[in-house]
Amino acid sequence: MTDLSGRFLSFTLHGATWVLWLLIALSVASVSIMLERLWYFRTHHVARTALAAEMRRLLRQTAAGFTDLERVPQPSELAAAVEGAKAHERLRLERHLAFLATLGSNGPFIGLFGTVLGIIKAFHDLAAGGAGGAGASTVMAGISEALVATAVGLMVAIPAVVAFNYFNRRIRVRMTELEWMAHLASLDVRSSFGGSGYSLEGGA
């Protein structure tokens, strides 16, 4: 156990520098995701014709016994295609957002971990240098440097949380629009079969 404690102590004495570099790397990844998602939402729009084509593709994959659209799909098949198309679009919209949510939740803890490592190193330096004025100055400088890790952790986490909430709101708006698009696309699919009086809920 003593040997294990010694190894852990030698690890902690590296201080918080590597934690700061980790936070910087995470921050770069976070900003990259934010820019990519902004570009995606700005340039990507679902057209009714594209959604209808996606529904036809899903109908070919999921409808039992029909590989070509030679018959009118059943209401349950069409409803399943609508839900599948919406789920596929939601996956595209939510891409990489889990990273922002995780970073927003855990960024402060990573920074706090770096602060704890820095404080351990500072007190170890104080013990090694004695209790004089120079030793006290060393430990205070070490603690002040260690607290930087907590500040950086918060600086990384806060924008990630803000961006995650913003994109979630954009997704809710987009999914509301998609609901209406799906309704119109279902009409396109039904009209391609010459169907009438046909609803997603079933029945003719």
Residue 77 lies inside a defined structural domain of this protein? yes
Structural domain of 158: 15-119+147-192
Residue 69 lies inside a defined structural domain of this protein? yes
**Separation CA 40–CA 97 (nearest Å):** 13
Residue 10 lies inside a defined structural domain of this protein? no
Q: What is the pLDDT along the chain (204 residues), one digit of tens a residue?
A: 456 555 655 656 666 788 889 999 999 999 999 999 999 888 877 666 766 677 766 666 655 444 454 555 666 767 777 777 778 888 888 899 999 999 999 999 999 988 888 888 777 777 766 555 556 676 777 777 788 889 999 999 999 999 999 999 989 888 887 777 777 667 666 666 555 444 444 443
pTM, to two decimals: 0.71
pLDDT for position 124: 74
pLDDT for position 88: 81
Residue 131 lies inside a defined structural domain of this protein? no
Q: Is 149 exposed, middle or buried (0-12, 13-18, 19+ CB in 10 A)?
A: buried
pLDDT for position 59: 65
Number of structural domains (the chain) is 1
Residue 132 lies inside a defined structural domain of this protein? no
Residue 6 lies inside a defined structural domain of this protein? no
Residue 2 lies inside a defined structural domain of this protein? no
pLDDT for position 66: 46
Q: How many CB atoms lie within 10 A of CB 49?
A: 11
Residue 200 lies inside a defined structural domain of this protein? no
